[in-house]
Amino acid sequence: MLIVGDCNPDVVVVGDDVAPAFGQQEKLVDGISLVTGGSASIMAVAAARLGLRVGLAAAVGADAAGEFMLGRLAAEGVDTSAMVIRPDRATAMTVVLSRPHANDRAILTALGAMPTVTPADLAPAMTAGLRHLHVSSYFLLQRSLGPGLAELFAVARSRGITTSLDTNWDPAQRWSDERLRAVLAETDVLMPNEAEAMHLSGKDEVGDAVRSLSADGPRVVVKLGSQGALAADGRSWHRAGLPAGLGPGFVDAIGAGDCFNAGVIAGLQRGLDLAGAMAVGCAVGSASTRAAGGTGARTDMAAALALARSVPVSSVPIGGRVARSR
Ligand SMILES: Nc1ncnc2c1ncn2[C@@H]1O[C@H](COP(=O)(O)OP(=O)(O)O)[C@@H](O)[C@H]1O
Ligand SMILES: [Mg+2]
**Measuring from each residue's beta carbon to the nearest atom of ligand 1, which residues come in under 6 Å?**
193, 223-226, 228-229, 242, 250, 253, 256-257, 260, 282, 285-286, 289
**Residue 194 alpha carbon, nearest atom of ligand 1:** 18
State the pLDDT at residue 326. Answer: 31
Amino acid at 27: K
Residues of the chain with pLDDT under 70: 319-326
Best residue for ligand 1 mutational test, from 289, 299, 307 (most atoms within 8 Å of Cβ): 289
Q: Give the C-alpha separation, 325 to 323, whole Å.
A: 6
Q: Give the C-alpha separation, 192 to 169, whole Å.
A: 9
Cα dist from 74 to 56, 184, 209, 245, whole Å: 10, 31, 38, 31
State the pLDDT at residue 324. Answer: 35
> Which residues are registered as beta bridge partners of 31?
14
Distance 23 CA to ligand 2 centre (A): 35
Amino acid at 307: L
Distance 165 CA to ligand 2 centre (A): 11
Burial label, 258 (beta-carbon count in 10 A; 0-12, 13-18, 19+): buried
Amino acid at 91: T
- Nearest C-alpha to atom 2 of ligand 1 is from which residue? 226
Q: CB of 115 within 8 A of CB of 84?
A: no
Could you give the dihedral angle defined by the CA atoms of residues 241, 246, 248 and 249, in that order, rounded to the nearest 10 degrees? -110
Residue pLDDT, tens place only, 192-231: 999 999 999 999 999 999 999 999 899 999 999 999 999 9
Ligand nearest to the CA of 140: 2
Residue pLDDT, tens place only, 34-85: 999 999 999 999 999 999 999 999 999 999 999 999 999 999 999 999 999 9
**Residue 166 alpha carbon, nearest atom of ligand 1:** 22
Q: What is the DSSP letter of 99?
A: E
Name all domains of the chain by residue range, CATH numbers in brackets: 2-16+32-325 (3.40.1190.20)
